[in-house]
A and B are shown apart, each in its own frame.
Chain A
């Protein structure tokens, strides 16, 4: 009788990790790990395929939840206490500045990573059949991330926050018919005031994070159901080889028989026993042997790499937070407009467009952009994932992504007082 072993075994029922059975059980007997397949393709975990950007986004979200909950212990969503609490977090609370910095920098990082993740999915053609719907979920997650960041922006209740949200919500009120009403509903008033702060807080700490959690679960689940990560571009099969089973379509009869001969030492997960082996991407038979060698247990191969990505994420955020403080300006003052007043940086492209035409730049163009993003997998009927075979799509997306980046850079760095074009290296006397 070994009580320690009893306790251990009451928690972990798997076989030892030295065995193949143990390695698979580690994955599928564990609530948190079973989102992984028991085995993965090594090639799919190459940095040059995914850049780990989806992982980074998710980890940043975890950092945000952790630090966000910590901040909640010292934050009251009501003016002027909200601002006083931010001052306390900055100067009084032990570790307050550090946690607040971590929260702020990972919020920015999350917006950046989610955008880059989307770009990577586009360029590797990974939104194509059968993954169309997961792309749509992704677009929803992108919008939710922006929503989280936007609602969080108001919470410090300083001048930056107040005017960014004033300008930002006014952009929305240009939507015909529903715009002004929506803005009023969001703010719970005619201007940014105490009810707006409370509403943004509730959205920020309860509604939007829950939505992100739920959709992330769907996102991950769909990755599995769509046959795992997409095959890296350099592993795409030679042209002209016969298509295999496709999700959502009955398999063609001659293709059903791709079951590999059972190997005795191999552990089979249920999904491998299901008829036809879950091959959603095609492997020509000549490549099959190489394919087999590429498949390894998730433990430790995948977990090790994901762990490194997590460490890198947390370490980078911590390092940034040691050296850079999140901004905190004077308390919000509705009577005094800073010059220029800017929306949060990821909306500055929008603001830049709005400074040219309110309706087209602020409503029509962004609505079309979101619609186009959602529709990409359904409009793009080209089955090829090779960059060279989808010149038009690659070109169009690049223009879209670059236009956004350039507009944001112009809005952030090149717009001075009165929204005049001012390069960042020119200092304007008296401008704050």
Chain B
């Protein structure tokens, strides 16, 4: 075999080997990424607008969200998951702030961090009106703190 032929085949062989390893690694990561998530849905309906009072936000424990309803401004939904390490924050009507029980983060009612280790404001997520007249929340869609749904 000629030196050149040998080197060409050798390079091609090694290249294929590395490509195969790369593809396999990709396949492993993809295999481990579930195609179906068996967990509480991230896109769900929470009831009709009339279910929610004006004033202090309503806390939905299973969905871990706060539903705000304002006379002029309409609906907004904040995630109750603390941006620090994922504990569930509580809303205090006394000071109109969110308090995290875990490491003391405090958030203003617009979600901004006031105290504590939380690095980011609370997340606001999209709320829309579904065709059947129910409110639909999509946790996969993060919106700005000024997002409002007028009904």
Cβ of A302 to closest chain B Cβ, rounded Å: 43
Chain B proximity of A187: nearest CB distance (Å): 9
Tell me the bound Cα distance from A420 to B103 in angstroms: 7
Whether A337 touches B101, Cβ cut-off 8 Å, given contacts A188-B34, A189-B37, is yes
Contact across chains for A195 and B117 when beta carbons are under 8 A apart: no
Please report which residues of chain A, range 163-191, place their CB below 8 angstroms from some CB of chain B when the two chains form the complex: 163, 166-167, 170-171, 184-185, 188-191
Min Cβ gap B62→A in Å is: 6
B62-103 interface bits toward A, Cβ cutoff 8 Å, 1 = contact, 0 = none: 101000000000000000000011111000000000011111
Are A189 and B87 in touch, CB under 8 angstroms?
no
Q: Give the segment of A1-9, A215-223, A356-364 that binds chain B.
A: A356-364
Q: Confirm or deny: B39 has a beta carbon within 8 angstroms of a beta carbon on chain A.
A: yes
The minimal Cβ–Cβ distance linking A210 to chain B, given in whole angstroms, is 17
Q: How far is the CB of B88 from chain A (nearest CB, A)?
A: 5
Q: Is the interface of B mostly helix, strand, loop or mixed?
A: loop
Q: Is the CB of B104 within 8 A of A420?
A: yes
Which residues of A sit under 8 angstroms from B14, Cβ to Cβ? none
Are B87 and A167 closer than 8 Å at their CB atoms? yes
- Which residues of chain A are near B34, meaning CB under 8 Å? 188-189, 195
**A119 part of interface (Cβ distance < 8 Å):** no
Contacts of A357 in B (CB 8 A): 117
- Collect the chain B residues with CB atoms within 8 Å of residue A337's CB: 87-88, 101-102
Chain A residues lying within 8 Å of B39, measured Cβ to Cβ, are 189-191, 193-195
Instruction: Tell me whether B119 is interfacial, beta carbon within 8 Å.
Output: yes
- Contact among B38, B85, B119 for A171, CB-based, below 8 A: B85
Asked if B33 and A340 make an inter-chain contact with CB atoms under 8 angstroms apart, the answer reads no
Q: CA separation between A128 and B87, bound complex, in Å?
A: 45
Tell me the number of A-to-B contacts counted with CB atoms below 8 Å. 84
B50 at the interface (CB under 8 A from A): no
Q: Which B48-71 residues have a C-beta within 8 angstroms of A?
A: 61-62, 64
Cα A334 to Cα B62 with chains together (Å) = 8
Partner of A336, one of B29, B32, B88, B117: B88
Chain B, 114-134, CB within 8 A of any chain A CB: 117, 119
- Tell me if A398 counts as interface (CB < 8 A to partner B): no
Q: Quick check: A419 and B37 within 8 Å, CB to CB?
A: no
| B42 within 8 Å of A (CB atoms) | yes
Q: B62–A418 contact, CB under 8 A?
A: no
In the complex, whether A355 has a CB less than 8 A from a CB of chain B is: yes
Which residue of chain B has the shortest Cβ distance to A418 in the bound complex? B104
Bound form: Cα–Cα A354–B64 in Å: 23
Q: A195 vs B32: C-alpha distance in the bound complex, in angstroms?
A: 11
Docked Cα-Cα span, A167 to B61, in Å, equals: 18
Choose from B64, B85, B102, B104 the contact partner of A335 (Cβ within 8 Å): B64
Chain A nearest CB from B131 CB (Å) reads 27
Please state if B38 and A419 are interface contacts (CB–CB under 8 Å).
Answer: no
A158 to B85, CA, bound (A): 18
Beta-carbon contact of B85 and A167 below 8 Å: yes
Q: Is A107 an interface residue (CB 8 A)?
A: no
Q: Which residues of A contact B38 (CB under 8 A)?
A: 189, 193-195
Chain B residues lying within 8 Å of A194, measured Cβ to Cβ, are 38-39
Contact B119 A359 (CB under 8 A): yes
B57 to chain A, nearest CB (A): 16
For window 356-413 of chain A, which residues contact chain B by CB distance below 8 Å?
A: 356-359
Query: Are B101 and A356 within 8 A (Cβ)?
Result: no
Question: Which residues of chain B are within 8 angstroms of A358 by Cβ–Cβ distance?
Answer: 84, 117, 119
B85 to chain A, nearest CB (A): 4
- When distances are taken between beta carbons in the complex, the residues of chain A under 8 Å from B85 are 166-167, 170-171, 341, 351, 354
Q: Chain A: which residue is nearest B59 at the CB level?
A: A335
Min CB gap A170→B, angstroms? 4
- Smallest distance from the beta carbon of B16 to chain A beta carbons, Å? 28
In angstroms, Cα B32 to Cα A93, docked, is: 35
**B42:A190 contact, CB within 8 angstroms:** yes
Given contacts A189-B39, A336-B88, contact A167 B117 (CB under 8 A): no
B116 nearest CB across to chain A (Å): 8
6 contacts between A and B (CB under 8 A): A166-B85, A189-B38, A335-B61, A336-B61, A358-B119, A419-B104
Which residues does A use to contact B, with CB under 8 Å? 163, 166-167, 170-171, 184-185, 188-191, 193-195, 334-341, 351, 354-359, 417-420
